[in-house]
């Protein structure tokens, strides 16, 4: 079983897929809302808080959508997905296929692929984050030497002025190009080798003030949470734009704290300029001089840039594309998710003396006579009675007559999809599926070889009569499906025959009748087609379990 098949069997996949799709417009909307709020906020600290709130809302939006999608009765699109998956199993009855049904179930058909792609992408970004954090943690123990005592005392003095109660170590590291903060509980400030000796003391003190501001704000921890959010929502450009805004406002907030501590914006700007050519790699922790444009930060400190900096408009085209795609996806989803339904449907109890379930479509009218709920489920999803479990006793005993009017333009095969909607609306039916092993049969080739004639071209498949099967361009999988419905047991195809064949199979449908003539189905298969039905202990069978249903109100 492939990974996609495993995902297709999970009930949460459809909800997760729709949550990912809906986040396209949700993320664009939240980004636009943040951009409007940002225009009204000037202080970097407040802008940082607003950006963090926007990113938090982006994380909450798909989670809320997922919970809403998974609540309540299974939607029609999920039910169609179940029927589609069931109809492709070797043990099921002949599937119902139509262009209308394929269009209706198209979004959910691709949900396992969408969720699989998202899982792979998210896993890659989470792995990237884990490697970055692991590498950052090693920076505090590899290629380091303690800083001179006088600089440690300077750091402690600045730490006291910033009211940081936790001890902070100052180390020289050969693996960093700029001052760097690592660690949450036991923070460490790493300085490049030679920086403490090669730069003016006032410049170093200003840079240390900036790094202590990161510790005071707990930016290392916040940056890790930010990385988790980026990994989860990696496919949306608005997430990366807002995440970049968070980093930019984070550095500007620390710049303001450093200037307030040193009391000289020009001195601090000059210290930052000394590190302009040493740009760090973006790892997991907060890195000094690593948020936004360093030149922009220096310009802001010197008063060249207005405090109300404009938004980075190069992100606007990407946001526009995402918004356009979101609206298109929403329109397509609205059109494809519309549930086919009968125009008018009448449900009445069958007279007590009526018997024999019948279901047929004539013109624009669908009729079901003496149908139990289990009969209707079997018709609606193209499955056999043995594949249905659960439900109250009345689901197998109370019989109804149903007469429903279809749209004149509707295809005959759409009656099954319309019946699914009727069962959900009028019977309150909710289903889920589960795979169980049960005894069944394997369709195999007799030792003497098959007695089949290969078809020159694909044909209509199987023609069915009482005790008679006429195959024209039919494959073995189709034959196994029909045989399964005849003996009410699961059958898996193990013939290994991949071609299309012409054949005729005749047998006695009721050997217990005195007037019965002809061989049994098992004997007919061997003698006429050279095939065998061999008993097997375990055949995986997908069951439809009734979670909830109630008796309908008569018209």
Average pLDDT over residues 551-555: 75
pLDDT in tens, 160-172: 888 888 888 888 8
pLDDT in tens, 437-473: 889 999 999 999 999 999 887 777 777 777 888 888 8
Residue 287: predicted pLDDT: 36
Residue 313: predicted pLDDT: 43
Residue 10: predicted pLDDT: 75
Residue 29: predicted pLDDT: 93
Say which residue, 97 or 159, is predicted with more confidence: 159
Decide if pLDDT at 238 tops 50. yes
Residue 100: predicted pLDDT: 36
pLDDT in tens, 359-407: 888 888 889 999 999 999 988 888 888 889 888 999 999 999 999 998 7
Average pLDDT over residues 178-190: 84
Residue 346: predicted pLDDT: 92
User: CA–CA separation, 543 vs 539, rounded Å?
Assistant: 12
Pick the closest to residue 77 from 461, 337, 291, 295 (CA basis).
Answer: 337
CA-to-CA separations, 93 to 358, 367, 387, 431, 464, in angstroms, rounded: 17, 21, 11, 19, 12
- Three-state secondary-structure class, residue 541: strand
171 in Cβ contact with 144 (< 8 Å): yes
Average pLDDT, the chain: 79
Average pLDDT over residues 12-35: 90
Tell me the pLDDT band of 357, cut-offs 50, 70 and 90.
Answer: confident
pLDDT in tens, 98-134: 333 333 344 556 778 888 889 999 999 999 988 888 8
Residue 124: predicted pLDDT: 92
Residue 122: predicted pLDDT: 92
283 in Cβ contact with 135 (< 8 Å): yes
Residue 409: predicted pLDDT: 65
Dihedral (Cα; 427, 540, 487, 497), 10-degree rounding: 130
Share of the chain above pLDDT 70, in %: 79
Residue 395: predicted pLDDT: 92
pLDDT in tens, 427-436: 999 888 888 8
Residue 182: predicted pLDDT: 85
pLDDT in tens, 299-311: 777 777 544 444 4
Residue 134: predicted pLDDT: 85
Say which residue, 249 or 515, is predicted with more confidence: 249
Tell me the pLDDT band of 97, cut-offs 50, 70 and 90.
Answer: very low
Tell me the pLDDT band of 23, cut-offs 50, 70 and 90.
Answer: very high
| Full 3-state SS string of 338-399 | CCCCCCEEEEEECCCCCCCCEEEEECCEEEEEEECHHHHHHHHHCCCHHHEEECCCHHHHCC
Decide if pLDDT at 550 tops 70. yes
Residue 92: predicted pLDDT: 35
pLDDT in tens, 62-90: 999 988 876 544 433 333 333 333 333 33
Residue 422: predicted pLDDT: 92
Indicate the pTM of the whole model. Answer: 0.53
Residue 554: predicted pLDDT: 63
Residue 107: predicted pLDDT: 54
Would you list the DSSP string of 223-279?
HHHHHHHHHHTTT-HHHHHHHHHHHHHHHHHHHHHHHHHHS-HHHHHHHHHTTTT-P
């Amino acid at each position: 079983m492939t990974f996609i098949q495993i995902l297709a069997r999970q009930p949460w996949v459809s909800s997760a897929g729709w949550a990912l799709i809906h986040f396209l417009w949700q993320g664009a909307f939240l980004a636009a809302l943040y951009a409007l709020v940002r225009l009204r906020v000037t202080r970097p600290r407040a802008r940082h808080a607003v950006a963090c709130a926007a990113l938090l809302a982006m994380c909450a939006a798909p989670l809320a959508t997922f919970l809403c999608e998974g609540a309540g009765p299974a939607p029609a699109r999920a039910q169609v997905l179940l029927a589609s998956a069931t109809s492709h199993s070797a043990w099921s009855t002949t599937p119902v296929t139509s262009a209308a049904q394929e269009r209706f179930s198209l979004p959910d058909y691709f949900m396992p692929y969408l969720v699989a792609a998202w899982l792979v992408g998210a896993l890659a970004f989470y792995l990237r984050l884990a490697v970055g954090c692991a590498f950052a943690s090693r920076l505090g123990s590899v290629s380091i030497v303690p800083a001179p005592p006088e600089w440690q005392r300077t750091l402690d003095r600045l730490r006291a002025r910033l009211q940081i109660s936790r001890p902070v170590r100052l180390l020289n590291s050969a693996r960093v190009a700029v001052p760097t903060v690592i660690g949450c509980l036991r923070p460490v400030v790493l300085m490049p080798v030679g920086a403490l000796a090669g730069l003016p003391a006032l410049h170093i003190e200003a840079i240390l003030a900036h790094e202590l501001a990161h510790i005071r704000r707990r930016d290392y921890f916040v940056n890790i949470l930010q990385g988790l959010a980026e990994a989860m929502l990696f496919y949306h450009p608005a997430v990366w734009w807002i995440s970049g805004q968070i980093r930019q406002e984070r550095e500007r907030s620390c710049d303001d704290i450093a200037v307030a501590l040193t009391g000289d914006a020009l001195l601090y700007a000059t210290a930052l300029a000394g590190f302009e050519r040493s740009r760090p790699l973006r790892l997991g922790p907060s890195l000094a001089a690593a948020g936004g444009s360093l030149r922009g930060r220096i310009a802001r400190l010197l008063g060249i840039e207005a405090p109300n900096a404009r938004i980075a408009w190069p992100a606007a085209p990407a946001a526009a594309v995402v918004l356009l795609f979101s609206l298109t996806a929403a329109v397509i989803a609205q059109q494809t998710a519309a549930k086919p339904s009968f125009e008018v449907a009448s449900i009445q109890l069958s007279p007590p003396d009526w018997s024999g379930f019948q279901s047929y479509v004539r013109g624009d009218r669908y009729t079901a006579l003496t149908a139990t709920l289990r009969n209707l489920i079997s018709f609606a999803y193209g499955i056999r009675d043995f594949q249905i479990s659960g439900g109250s006793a009345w689901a197998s005993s109370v019989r109804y007559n149903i007469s429903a009017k279809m749209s004149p333009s509707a295809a005959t095969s759409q009656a099954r999809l319309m019946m699914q909607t009727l069962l959900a609306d009028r019977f309150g039916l909710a289903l889920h599926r589960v795979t169980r092993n049960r005894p069944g049969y394997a369709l195999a080739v007799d030792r003497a070889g098959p007695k089949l004639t290969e078809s020159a071209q694909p044909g209509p498949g199987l023609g069915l009569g009482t005790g008679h099967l006429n195959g024209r361009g039919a494959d073995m999988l189709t034959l196994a499906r029909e045989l399964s419905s005849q003996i009410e047991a699961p059958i898996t195809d193990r013939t290994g025959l991949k071609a299309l064949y012409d054949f005729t199979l005749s047998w006695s449908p009721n050997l217990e009748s005195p007037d019965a003539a002809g061989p049994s189905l098992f004997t007919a298969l061997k003698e006429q087609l050279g095939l065998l039905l061999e008993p097997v202990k375990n055949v995986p069978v997908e069951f439809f379990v009734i979670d909830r249903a109630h008796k309908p109100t008569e018209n």
